[in-house]
Every structure is written in C-alpha cells, then in structure tokens.
Amino acid sequence: MANDEGRSVRVQLSFVLAGALGVTSAAEAREPTVLAPLTPWNLHYSDNSCQLFRTFGNAADPTHLAIESLGPDSGLTMLVHGGALSAKQGSGEAKATFVPSTGRTFDDGNVSETTESKKTAIYWGNISLLSETFRDQDRSFDRARAAAKRMANRTLEATAGSSVTAIQIVEPRRRVTVLQTGSLAKVMQMLRECNREQMADWGLDPAVQDRIVLAPEARRNLASLFSADDYPTLAIRSGQMSMVRARLIVGADGKVTKCTSLTPFSGEGFKEVVCDRLSKAVFQPAELADGTKVPTFVISRVNFRMPGS
C-alpha cells in the first residue's frame, strides 16, 4: 500500500510480512508534565539530512528533542528521548500533536530505548505542520494550478509554524509531556535553508528544484517491487523489524540514478534489499511549468513488520 509523503511523491510503502497492527487499550490521561527549554535550537548539517536539537526540563535529567528534515517538502521525523519519558519498549505506540492543534495527531510513535543509558526513546517517521500533506497530483492538472498549490502549502506551513507554542506527547499508558518549543517558524526556515544547501551536494540545482510544478510519479506501485521473500532471513529468525527510508535521485528520463539509505540503524539486510528493489523503479519525471523534464529526488519509506506486530 503506497501513500504520498510530500512534494516529490514521498512514497510510503507499508511492507508487511504478515499479520496486522495490534491495538493497545489505555487508562485515562494524567495531568501533563510541562517542560521549558534548557537550550536554544542547535542545527546539525549532515550529508543526508538537516537536524535541529533542543533539550527541555531538568538539567540533571533532560528531555531531548530532535527534528529532522530529509529534504524540502519531504515531511519531518521527530525523536524525543530521556528525561520525563517512561514508556517501555513494546508497550504500544505514542502520540504527538502540535499545540495549538494543526488538525493532525501523529499516533505512530515507535517506543524504544537509548543504547547506552536505556532511557525511553520515541520516534515518529513522518510528521507535518500541515493539516493535510501535499498529495500526489493528477498530472492532467494545469501546471499553474500545481505550482500555486505547492506555494500555498508552503505558506500554510509557515503560518502553522508561527502559531505553534508546544509539542504534546502522549505515551502508551497516557502519560502526557508537553515541550514548550515556542514558535516553530524559525525552525522551519532553518531546515529549509539547510535543505537547499544539501541539494547541491546531491547534484541537484536548488533553483531548478524550486521551479518544479509536477512531481515525479512512479509508473507502477512501488510496493509491487517487493515480495515476502525480500524480508531478510536473519531478521525473520531473530524477529527483527525495521523502517527504512531511502532517497532516490530520479533523472530527467524517469530512471533512478542513485539510491541512498537514510536509516543508519535498520538491522542486517534491510537497507540493502530496499535500495536493490527501489533502484528498479521507473517514474514519470518531474516537470517545470513549461513542460521541461528535470532530475529531482524522491524520499521513500519501507516498513518491515513481523506477524502479529
């Protein structure tokens, strides 16, 4: 099953070996723990993403927040760990919302723990300030309409970022933590400027990318490139699951010229099979307003899940 995830058909693939997602019942919500910031935002630039870090709460045991952007208009990931969090791995999924609400709740927070300190860590793989993310376009749309929609979404994102004052996290047992982030307008601007610099490193012209009005569209469902046989054998034996993100560079001819795994710790075999399969994808290429076809990038997400998960 494939869903779009941003401007350049940020395709999310739910690759399930078998079974269905379980549902965990929860007790009544508790009074929230409200945490003020301890540090300013700290920008980290890497080859594959732009990340902003900030700590909140008690200096002796702070709660850490990381917001990551893998590319312009590609959605965000969010990691919160340590401090006030207490959920145990395997206890269910956590929820996150922006305050005041932008109309969306992100209820797929994966609960795990940090490697060394064994503190609670919760990861969301796709969040957005928009009430509805930029969906796949009907390519029969007038290009001017497509360009206008893209710019309107950026304006809405900036407006939503300005109004946000906090992020609320609800753990599986309904423990509520509120991180007082203040306005996210500057955060989004810092990430966007960082992403533009990154695109040049990927061999893409940021000025050309800004002018794209039609995103690339896969000629076949990307999920059809995978089968149950692609689940790594060692991972099946150990019951290991994973979520792998990959960046595809799609040429003006619609062919994938490069696949880069963006998931540093995904278990043995997962990253390799994802890039092997996605490299075979063929797209209708991105287009400018005058119909010129240009290279761009696509961010894809593939979830590997075991039966009963």
Residue where a domain terminates, one of 128, 150, 184: 184
Q: Does 98 lie in the same domain as 219?
A: no
> Residue 289 is part of which domain span?
207-305
CA distance 93 to 110: 6
The neighbour count for residue 211, using CB atoms within 10 Å, is: 15
Cα 106 from chain centre: 11
Q: Which of the residue ranges 174-183, 257-266, 292-301 would you say has the lowest mean pLDDT?
A: 257-266
Q: What pLDDT is recorded for position 237? A: 82
Consecutive H or E run containing 217: strand 217-218
Q: Mean of the per-residue pLDDT values for the chain?
A: 82
* Listed residue (108, 143, 122) closest to 12, CA to CA: 108
When pLDDT is cut at 50, 70 and 90, the band that residue 125 belongs to is confident
Q: Does 121 lie in the same domain as 234?
A: no
Q: pLDDT: is 175 or 303 the higher one?
A: 175
Task: Name the 3-class secondary structure at 262.
Answer: coil
Q: Is residue 55 one of the residues assigned to a domain?
A: yes
Task: Name the 3-class secondary structure at 61.
Answer: strand
Residue 216: give its domain's CATH number: 3.30.2420.10
> 24 Cβ partners below 8 Å, 6+ apart?
91, 92, 93, 172
Stretch 144-161: mean pLDDT:
71
- Please say if the pLDDT value at position 306 is more than 80: no
Q: Does 131 lie in the same domain as 72?
A: yes
Q: What pLDDT is recorded for position 274? A: 93
Q: Is residue 38 one of the residues assigned to a domain?
A: yes
Q: Does 160 lie in the same domain as 62?
A: yes
- Please say if the pLDDT value at position 91 is more than 80: yes
When pLDDT is cut at 50, 70 and 90, the band that residue 303 belongs to is confident
* pTM, two decimal places: 0.75
Percent of the chain with pLDDT over 70: 80
Q: What pLDDT is recorded for position 53? A: 97
Q: Is residue 82 one of the residues assigned to a domain?
A: yes
Q: Does 173 lie in the same domain as 73?
A: yes
Residue with tokens 């099979």: 273
Q: Does 44 lie in the same domain as 121?
A: yes
Stretch 50-74: mean pLDDT:
93
Q: Does 159 lie in the same domain as 289?
A: no
On whether the CB atoms of residues 19 and 308 are closer than 8 A, the answer is yes
Q: Is residue 198 one of the residues assigned to a domain?
A: no
Residue where a domain terminates, one of 147, 169, 184: 184
CA distance 174 to 178: 13
β-partners of residue 283 are 218
On whether the CB atoms of residues 178 and 34 are closer than 8 A, the answer is yes
CA distance 256 to 278: 8
Q: Is residue 92 one of the residues assigned to a domain?
A: yes
Q: What pLDDT is recorded for position 2? A: 36
Q: Does 166 lie in the same domain as 79?
A: yes
Q: Does 258 lie in the same domain as 148?
A: no
Q: Does 168 lie in the same domain as 42?
A: yes
* Listed residue (244, 182, 234) closest to 36, CA to CA: 182
- Please say if the pLDDT value at position 50 is more than 90: yes
CA distance 289 to 214: 8
Stretch 87-98: mean pLDDT:
89
* Listed residue (277, 108, 72) closest to 195, CA to CA: 72
Q: What pLDDT is recorded for position 267? A: 63
When pLDDT is cut at 50, 70 and 90, the band that residue 20 belongs to is very low
CA distance 166 to 151: 25
Q: Does 100 lie in the same domain as 211?
A: no
- Please say if the pLDDT value at position 109 is more than 80: yes
Stretch 112-128: mean pLDDT:
87
- Please say if the pLDDT value at position 10 is more than 70: no
- Please say if the pLDDT value at position 24 is more than 90: no
Q: What pLDDT is recorded for position 276? A: 94
Structural domains in the chain (count): 2
Q: What pLDDT is recorded for position 265? A: 57
- Per-residue pLDDT tens over the stretch 250-285: 999 999 999 998 876 556 788 889 999 999 999 999
Q: Is residue 192 one of the residues assigned to a domain?
A: no
Q: Is residue 54 one of the residues assigned to a domain?
A: yes
Residue where a domain terminates, one of 144, 169, 184: 184
CA dihedral 265, 94, 12, 262 (to 10 degrees): -20
The neighbour count for residue 24, using CB atoms within 10 Å, is: 10
Q: Does 231 lie in the same domain as 176?
A: no
Q: CA 168 → CA 65, 80, 83, distances in Å?
A: 12, 11, 15
Q: Is residue 261 one of the residues assigned to a domain?
A: yes
